[in-house]
Amino acid sequence: MKTVHARPYPYTFDPAHTALVLIDMQRDFLEPGGFGALLGNDVAPLRRIVPACQRLLALAREHGLRVIHTQEAHDPLLADCPPSKKARGGLACGIGDPGPLGRVLVAGEPGAGFVPELLPQSGDTVLRKPGKGAFHATALDAILHAQGITHLLIGGVTTEVCVQTTMREAYDRGYGCLLVQDWAASYVPHFHDAVVEMVVAQGGIVGWAAPLAAVEAAWAGSAFAQAAAAAAAAKG
């Protein structure tokens, strides 16, 4: 068992029953010309978490955790895209339309692909999802059950949309989720901070939150690393 110094209290998990879930680290959200940018967002805050994602993925692979990459993308006929989703935002170039990164949020197009630094590796699971939550209209719950997964370390983009929605869905299905704070980002940084507070409020009503250093310290196990992680977690 591993224990992470987290908020609102320590998060304990068995690595054999824990998966890393990296939400939607796609070019459509992280690169200029993608869906996020077309919505008027500055993509820079999202790009900043890429090194932390690489570190956590390396740690997970080193210790044999299952890795799941989600991908928000629709089939080319948009048969899985509700008209209300396509219409939202009233974009001149919206979901399904040809854009700078190919058809926006469409599977198989350049924009729907993962950023080059975070490409899935053999043994990882790639889960295409049509909605914001990773459990909506996907086989995620069945996949996790089949693999005996009970705990999820969650990060990705954006904190207040797909990450938070997935955490709430996971909570209702009985999973214990840790939001790895510097592994997630929002176009609007104070939204990220607000989600962290919402997750840990009321005794961890949605789950736990901790910085990446605290997760690393749980593996490192030294008294010094644990003390530094406890201090970082307490600071929030």
Q: What's the token pair of residue 133?
A: 């939550």
**Three-class secondary structure of residue 136 per DSSP:** coil
Rg (CA), the chain: 17
Contact between 215 and 58 (Cβ < 8 Å): no
Binds ligand C5J (CB under 6 A): choice among 11, 20, 21, 24: 24
- Identify residues 137-166 at the interface with ligand C5J (CB under 6 A): 157-158, 161-162
Q: Say which of 28, 129, 132, 182 is annotated catalytic.
A: 129
Asked if residue 68 lies in contact with residue 125, where contact means CB atoms within 8 angstroms, the answer is yes
Q: Active-site residue among 24, 132, 177, 182?
A: 24
In the complex, the smallest distance separating the C-beta of residue 146 from ligand C5J, rounded to whole angstroms, is 25
Question: Using CA atoms, how far apart are residues 32 and 111, in angstroms rounded to an integer?
Answer: 10
Shortest Cβ 72–ligand C5J spacing (Å)? 5
Tell which positions 70-109 bind ligand C5J, by CB under 6 A. 72
- Residue 5 or 132: the one with the smaller Cβ distance to ligand C5J is 132
When the beta carbons of 72 and 109 are compared against ligand C5J, the nearer one is 72
Closest CB to ligand C5J among 5 and 168?
Answer: 168
- Would you call 138 helix, strand, or coil by DSSP? coil
Residue 132 bears catalytic tag = no
**Minimum Å distance from CB 24 to ligand C5J?**
4
Q: How many chain residues touch ligand C5J (CB under 6 A)?
A: 8
Reference 31, options 19, 41, 21; nearest CA is 41
Closer residue to ligand C5J, CB minimum distance, 24 or 182: 24
Catalytic site residue 80? no
Contact status: 49 vs ligand C5J (CB under 6 A): no
In whole angstroms, how close is the CB of 29 to ligand C5J at the nearest point?
A: 6
| Distance from C-alpha of 127 to C-alpha of 124, rounded to nearest angstrom | 10
**CA atoms lying within 13 Å on the CB side of residue 86:** 15
Closest Cα partner for 210 from 193, 175, 234? 234
User: Pairing relation of β-strands 98-99 and 151-157?
Assistant: unpaired
Q: Which residues bind ligand C5J (CB under 6 A)?
A: 24, 29, 72, 132, 157-158, 161-162
Active site residues: 24, 129, 162
